[in-house]
Amino acid sequence: MELYEKVENVKSLEDLIKFIKHLRMDLQTNRAEWENNTLEDYLEAMEAWVKDMEGYYSNTNQPVPKKPSWQTIADILVASRMYE
């Protein structure tokens, strides 16, 4: 299952913990596929994505979260691996 598909399954704290573990394992096995594979690059991308996240939700026809959910956190984490 793709990381983006796994995000859709994050509904609880326990789901988020499992997702973070899977994300970490993906970095270990697919580092070359990550655009932002250093902590500095990853955090910089995270900052940028959070600033622009309303556009992501609007462009994908999803409601912009008023309060972040566990799934919103997973969205931020997975997007940060590639966002520039």
The residues, ordered by sequence, that sit 6+ positions from 15 with a Cβ below 8 Å of its Cβ are 9, 70, 74
What tens digit of pLDDT does each residue of 27-69 get?
A: 999 999 999 999 999 999 999 999 999 999 999 999 999 999 9
DSSP state of 63: P
The residue behind tokens 């026809």 is 61
What tens digit of pLDDT does each residue of 8-31 get?
A: 999 999 999 999 999 999 999 999
Domain boundaries defined on the chain: 3-79
